[in-house]
């Protein structure tokens, strides 16, 4: 469920009027936190503690913590075990604002805390489904993540400062506040700062550590609201419809749970709507006229301007009239330049759709692999709504990294000669740039290699030039009926040289002149209309994006 300012304000107004469905406390919390992110002068914080200050740094995943520690320590960090065997601890010395600090870097594994109902409301028969809209909820740590929480508590007791290195989006901000709450529960005096970055590279990490900011409470509160609403609405309607439908269909649904989700329900609606359209589709027969110019060098097919008719008798009458005088006369010849646009920079929705269509990788697997490439420092942050490269992002050095690749290196080198010229999109989230490679990575395997190659080729393609061609349209007339044929000659492939995922092929036409005549071969083929196909995963992602369904860029994980 996408939570934006208008929604928050609208729901808040409804709540003041006593709306029975949504909890007042959550939305008011979100409104209270709605403010601005302020940069922090870390020098005063560091000066207050002097040399030897101990700083706890926490990333969202172990791979990110490992790579961040390696960059900040120059590869000299020392590893020790935490209480969770999946989340290591890395220690190193670091100079912050000119003063020596003892850094501890560790991680969580996504969300540390989750909402649940108070114990007395968890059993299905403990209350009516409607009571779940107002009953108490708590945020607690699951048993699996308790070792991570105990590690944070232990390390926080020893430190004077906490720096949050979780992903820089709403979900990451909320995870950051979960970390803050756990750490401050055992060390209330802990100073807390936030690192903002879009890629795990030396330059980006340096910028982040030199420009630490306050954590963004408004973004975290928005996630809290979404999580609580999803829990209340999902649980209430799941219990209600499961219990009700079991009464109606006791034999068939005795052991079934009928789930409801704020995103699941409308998304399934798209699938069902398309299925019902296909099932109710009634095919219609149609007929058309086809003209062919038979040549030893190859036949040329002309398409009927009427396209097709659904009346066989009418089509046959026109066909027989054409057969009586089958000589075709060229009435118009036009040749004009034609371009095939290069792609715009890559955002998350396009990454999911294109990977599904072109690479046959599911959206869920795409985001899993993209997150891994990101934590390894090979691509920028993969959850972004932006398809405009910011002016301050230096593109040439990123292209330079790719010049030694045996497959696309020569193209990258030519691109540097003319200078990168990105085709810009129209969207920006003002948080992260479009997805792009940040480091050359020749040793990848499997889907990691395929997705990384796609990101690189897409990046180089959008910085190149549109493909250019010359399109020829020839119109002919047979017994008063009009027909046309199109040809294409590609004059400059440009971005297509590096982007095999787009197809644009030559279609050769002979030279025709206005007034030229030829004996035509006529045919009257028939066919039937067909229903639309079932939705593909890429189609479904596009529909969810169009209708604003799903947590921000969360289609891959739903």
- pLDDT confidence of residue 227: 95
Rounded Cα distance, 76 and 119, in Å: 47
CB 333 within 8 A of CB 512: yes
Q: What is the pLDDT of residues 2-25, one digit of tens each?
A: 333 333 333 332 333 333 344 444
Rounded Cα distance, 148 and 150, in Å: 5
CATH 3.40.50.140 is the classification of domain 36-228? yes
CB 274 within 8 A of CB 534: yes
- In CATH, the architecture of 348-463 is Orthogonal Bundle (1.10)
- pLDDT confidence of residue 49: 54
CB 101 within 8 A of CB 46: yes
Tell me, yes or no, if 115 is annotated catalytic: no
- pLDDT confidence of residue 550: 74
Q: What is the average pLDDT value for the chain, to the nearest integer?
A: 90
For helices 446-463 and 363-375, the axis angle rounded to 10 degrees is: 80
- pLDDT confidence of residue 2: 33
- pLDDT confidence of residue 497: 97
Following DSSP, what letter does each residue of 236-272 receive, concatenated?
A: HHHHHHHHHHHHHSTTTSTT------TTHHHHHHHHH
Residue numbers of the chain with a pLDDT score lower than 50: 1-37, 552-558
CATH 3.40.50.720 is the classification of domain 285-342+467-528? no
- pLDDT confidence of residue 267: 95
CB 358 within 8 A of CB 454: yes
Q: What is the pLDDT of residues 443-455, one digit of tens each?
A: 999 999 999 999 9
Q: Report pTM.
A: 0.84
Active-site residue (options: 90, 374, 381, 512): 381
- pLDDT confidence of residue 429: 85
Following DSSP, what letter does each residue of 136-188 receive, concatenated?
A: -EEEEE-GGGHHHHHHHHHHHHT-SEEEEES-SSHHHHHHHHHHHHHHHHH-T
Distance of CA 489 to the CA centre of its chain: 35
Rounded Cα distance, 228 and 22, in Å: 9
3-state helix, strand, coil in the chain (%, to 5): 40, 20, 40
283: β partners: none
Instruction: Kindly list the domain boundaries of the chain, sorted by start residue.
Output: 36-228, 263-283+530-558, 285-342+467-528, 348-463
CA proximity to 435, closest of 408, 449, 454:
454
């Amino acid at each position: 469920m996408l939570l934006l300012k208008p929604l928050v304000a609208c729901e808040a107004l409804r709540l003041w009027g006593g709306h029975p469905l949504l909890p007042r406390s959550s939305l008011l919390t979100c409104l209270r936190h709605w403010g601005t992110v302020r940069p922090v002068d870390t020098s005063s914080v560091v000066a207050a503690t002097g040399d030897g200050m101990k700083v706890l740094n926490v990333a969202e995943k172990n791979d990110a913590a490992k790579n961040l520690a390696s960059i900040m320590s120059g590869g000299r960090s020392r590893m020790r075990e935490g209480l969770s065997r999946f989340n290591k601890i890395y220690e190193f010395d670091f100079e912050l604002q000119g003063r020596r600090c003892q850094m501890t870097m560790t991680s969580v594994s996504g969300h540390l805390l989750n909402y649940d109902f108070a114990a007395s409301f968890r059993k299905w028969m403990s209350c009516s489904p409607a009571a779940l809209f107002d009953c108490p909820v708590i945020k607690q740590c699951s048993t699996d993540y308790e070792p991570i929480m105990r590690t944070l508590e232990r390390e926080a007791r020893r430190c004077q400062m906490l720096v949050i290195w979780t992903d820089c989006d709403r979900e990451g901000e909320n995870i950051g506040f979960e970390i803050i709450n756990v750490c401050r529960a055992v060390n209330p005096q802990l100073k807390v700062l936030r690192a903002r970055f879009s890629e795990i590279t030396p330059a980006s990490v340096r910028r982040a550590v030199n420009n630490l900011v306050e954590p963004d409470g408004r973004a975290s509160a928005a996630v809290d609201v979404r999580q609580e609403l999803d829990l209340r609405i999902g649980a209430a309607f799941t219990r209600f419809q499961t219990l009700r439908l079991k009464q109606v269909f006791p034999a068939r649904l005795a052991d079934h749970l009928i789930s409801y989700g704020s995103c699941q329900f409308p998304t399934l609606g798209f699938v069902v709507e398309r299925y019902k359209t296909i099932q109710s589709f009634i095919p219609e027969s149609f007929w058309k006229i086809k003209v062919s110019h038979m040549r030893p060098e190859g036949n040329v097919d002309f398409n009927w301007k009427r396209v097709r008719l659904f009346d066989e008798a009418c089509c046959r009458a026109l066909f027989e009239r054409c057969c009586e005088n089958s000589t075709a006369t060229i009435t118009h010849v036009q040749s004009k330049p034609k371009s095939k646009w290069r792609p715009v920079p890559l955002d998350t929705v396009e990454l999911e759709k294109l990977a599904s269509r072109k690479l046959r990788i599911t959206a869920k697997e795409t985001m899993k692999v993209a997150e891994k490439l990101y934590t390894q420092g090979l691509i920028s942050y993969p959850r972004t709504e932006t398809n405009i490269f910011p002016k301050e992002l230096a593109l040439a050095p990123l292209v330079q990294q790719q010049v030694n690749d045996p497959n696309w290196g020569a193209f990258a080198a030519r691109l540097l000669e003319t200078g990168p010229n990105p085709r810009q999109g129209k969207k920006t989230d003002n948080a992260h740039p479009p997805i792009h490679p940040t480091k050359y990575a020749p040793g990848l395997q499997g889907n990691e290699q395929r997705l990384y190659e796609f990101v690189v080729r897409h990046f180089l393609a959008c910085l190149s030039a549109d493909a250019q061609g010359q399109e020829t349209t020839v119109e002919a007339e047979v017994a008063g009926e009009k027909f046309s044929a199109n040809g294409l000659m590609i004059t400059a492939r440009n971005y297509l040289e590096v982007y095999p995922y787009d197809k644009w092929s030559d279609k050769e036409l002979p030279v025709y002149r206005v007034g030229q005549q030829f004996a035509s071969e006529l045919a009257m083929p028939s066919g039937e209309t067909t229903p639309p196909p079932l939705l593909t995963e890429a189609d479904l992602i596009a529909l969810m994006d169009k209708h604003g369904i799903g947590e921000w860029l969360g289609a891959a994980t739903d």
